Amino acid sequence: MIKNIISGIKAYFGAFSLISKLKLWKYFAIPMLISFITFIAIFSSAYCLSDNIGGFISRIWIWEWGKDTFSSISNFVGGLIVLVIGLILFKHIIMALSAPFMSPVSEKIEAHYTDQPAHSHRDTTFMQQLWRGIRINGRNLLMELLLTIPILLLKFIPVVNIFSTILLFLMQAYYAGFGNMDYTLERHFQYKESVQFVRKNRGLAIGNGIVFILCLLIPVVGVILVLPLSVTAASTRTVEALQLNNKPVNAT
């Protein structure tokens, strides 16, 4: 697991050069625009709601003693809820809508590493790629939201809240990496098979997602470049994983 996480992170080191070498930047124009617009829309709305959520949580404490402390914690948790849900929505929306544009990128990277011509595997249409992206990311969005709620509740428990933050970060990373890996997997596996493959290689997904999440913390530039870098890194490692698992890269 640790080895795969490190491998997923290291894949980013050669992403810029590979994108330039294969002349892939043109494929990222629309996804980068989708990413920027989605970021502005989601986090502008989230910023306006943060105080309201904190105030709502603070009403749960009906006693006078410790009210100020609980209110402070509520405001922090409210802001964290907004941030976490905003990140969850952002990454799944952009990955779902960008699927038809990212599939050709992963396809070219795969052809480069395997010396096989493009379209030597299961071919899919624009709409099929879009629907696959919506289905995978919709499923991941639901799973992530269900897991996020109990983890956020742990924030109210001293000491435990430190570990819950790490757990929350790793979970977000896993599902981000999952979405990036599926741009390659959609040509080789059906829906359920892809889920099983990512579970088996969860370390690669987490490693890829860790850098994905960290990129979002870089103002403007991170939001714009996160997809090109993460998809390129995920594609290289996914192709390698397919080969290591004795899965012919031209299988249907």
CA distance 9 to 29: 24
Instruction: Identify which has the larger pLDDT, 10 or 58.
Output: 10
State the average pLDDT for the chain: 83
Give the residue-averaged pLDDT of 213-217: 89
Q: What is the pLDDT of residues 167-186, one digit of tens each?
A: 889 999 999 999 999 999 98
| Residue with tokens 């043109």, as numbered in its chain | 26
Q: What is the pLDDT of residues 36-74, one digit of tens each?
A: 888 888 777 766 776 666 666 666 666 666 666 666 666
Give the residue-averaged pLDDT of 178-206: 92
Give the residue-averaged pLDDT of 227-237: 94
- 216 three-state secondary structure: coil
CB atoms within 10 A of CB 188: 21
On the CB side of 30, CA atoms within 13 Å amount to 10
Parse the chain into domains and list their residue ranges: 2-244
- 130 three-state secondary structure: helix
Q: Is the pLDDT of residue 217 over 80?
A: yes
Among the ranges 162-166, 189-193, 230-234, which has the highest mean pLDDT value? 230-234
Q: Is the pLDDT of residue 12 over 90?
A: yes
pLDDT at 55: 65
User: pTM of the full predicted structure?
Assistant: 0.81
- 59 three-state secondary structure: coil
Q: Is the pLDDT of residue 199 over 90?
A: yes
DSSP letter at 249 equals: T
- The phi and psi torsions of 117 (rounded to 5 degrees) equal -65, 155
CB atoms within 10 A of CB 59: 9
Contacts of 244 (CB under 8 A, 6+ apart): none
CA distance 147 to 102: 27
For residue 249, name the pLDDT band (cuts at 50, 70, 90).
very low
CB 77 within 8 A of CB 85: no
How far CA 250 is from CA of 123, 184, 190, in Å, comes to: 11, 12, 14
Give the residue-averaged pLDDT of 92-112: 89
pLDDT at 233: 95
CB atoms within 10 A of CB 67: 13
**What is the separation of C-alpha 10 from the centre of its chain, rounded to a whole number of angstroms?**
17
